[in-house]
Amino acid sequence: MSLYSALKSKGPNGFGYGSTAEDVTAGLSLAGKTFLLTGCNSGLGLETMRVLRLRGAHVVGTARTEAKAAEAGNTAAGGSFTPLACELADAGSIRACVAAVKASGLRLDAILANAGIMALPKLEKAYGVELQFFTNHVGHFMLITGLLDALTDDGRVVVTSSGAHGSAPRGGIDFHNLGGERGYRGWTFYGQSKIANILFAKELARRFAGTGRTANALHPGVIQTNLGRSMLNPVTSFLFGLAGPFVLKSIPEGAATQTYLAAHPDAAKWSGEYFADCNPARPRRDATNAELARRLWDETEAIVADLPA
Ligand SMILES: NC(=O)c1ccc[n+]([C@@H]2O[C@H](COP(=O)([O-])OP(=O)(O)OC[C@H]3O[C@@H](n4cnc5c(N)ncnc54)[C@H](OP(=O)(O)O)[C@@H]3O)[C@@H](O)[C@H]2O)c1
């Protein structure tokens, strides 16, 4: 726990900034439950996978390759584990992952869309779409909509967004520049992909209304992980390393909010919300725009429909 964590108070549900993934699952048995988690090999995903298994869950952990997922699975104990490849910038890999889950017959109690990339310094693309938007949003959209048949009737979708959604362009999503040709800034496009995560969860929650299923998005906090690799140089890395223990969340603290939303019984009552520090929070105003959320869904479906078979 950092100095800052120790000073922060708890939220209404008794959890808060300094709560860890182990804290929010203390006393829970997740035996018999199955969670699919993207990005299980690093940072928040690795810790989330470890704690879900510690509580007895079966985790379907995905990484860019099956070997990476399997290697990550070998670092944790308890529960059980199925490694799968899911390269979120490769439509074929996502389709194969969906097919493998369906063929397994597993029913998913929650899907955690955790994987992500941040602030790429130069414009990169997948299928003509800016790479952060594709990886963080479109890839997860494909995976999750492909897996809805495998989600239990009270299944949860948990989408890891970021407070950096605040750096999205004016209006939230610039639909005329999804490829970045009309101008590219790493942070703006990261923010756009992260506001898309919130809008996607919101529209999915609207579609789930009247069922037992839920969809929520979250900001995990600011945590030193591999996420910053494209923006850090040796000097900033060193400074980050010095300051981190005092001002940043630890990885166990950073994994808490997504673990709470996926696994805690009390979280079943929330849908279409944005969480931070394990409690509901307020995102940027256009992240709550239902019309924008619907439009993003439609435009994403159109992108997916155009992908090569
Ligand atoms: N750390 C923070 O301060 C912070 C703050 C706000 C939000 N978040 C969000 O938290 C989530 C987890 O990030 P983290 O901090 O744990 O970062 P991380 O340690 O870099 O982990 C990111 C994970 O995403 C995977 N990934 C990246 N691109 C992928 C792709 N194309 N296909 C499949 N997997 C891919 C990575 O795989 P490889 O290892 O193979 O690259 C890794 O497993 C992200 O969505 C991030 O935006 C983090």
Looking at every residue in the chain, the average pLDDT score rounds to 95
pLDDT digits (tens, 9 = 90+) for 139-185: 999 999 999 999 999 999 999 999 999 999 999 999 999 999 999 99
Instruction: Using pLDDT thresholds of 50, 70 and 90, give the confidence band for residue 194.
Output: very high
Instruction: Using pLDDT thresholds of 50, 70 and 90, give the confidence band for residue 3.
Output: low
How far is ligand 1, taken at its centre, from the CA of residue 224, in Å?
11
Instruction: Using pLDDT thresholds of 50, 70 and 90, give the confidence band for residue 9.
Output: confident
The residue whose C-alpha atom lies closest to atom 11 belonging to ligand 1 is 114
What is the pLDDT at residue 247? Answer: 75
What is the pLDDT at residue 233? Answer: 63
What is the pLDDT at residue 77? Answer: 97
The residue whose C-alpha atom lies closest to atom 36 belonging to ligand 1 is 39
Give the burial class of 96: count Cβ atoms within 10 A of its Cβ; 0-12 exposed, 13-18 middle, 19 or more buried: middle
How far is ligand 1, taken at its centre, from the CA of residue 42, in Å?
7
Chain centroid to Cα 250, Å, comes to 17
How far is ligand 1, taken at its centre, from the CA of residue 64, in Å?
11
The residue whose CB lies within 8 Å of the most ligand 1 atoms, and thus the one to mutate among 44, 71, 130, is 44
**Contact between 65 and 83 (Cβ < 8 Å):** no
Return the DSSP state at 58. E
What is the pLDDT at residue 260? Answer: 98
Number of C-alpha atoms within 13 angstroms, CB side, residue 200?
29
pLDDT digits (tens, 9 = 90+) for 212-263: 999 999 999 999 999 987 776 666 666 666 666 777 999 999 999 999 999 9
The residue whose C-alpha atom lies closest to atom 20 belonging to ligand 1 is 227
Q: Which residues line ligand 1 (CB under 6 A)?
A: 39, 41-45, 63-64, 68, 86-89, 114-118, 135, 160, 162, 219-220, 222-223, 225-227
58-63 and 279-280 strand pairing: unpaired
Return d(Cα 12, Cα 18) in angstroms, integer: 14
**Contact between 89 and 131 (Cβ < 8 Å):** yes
**Active site amino acids:** 184
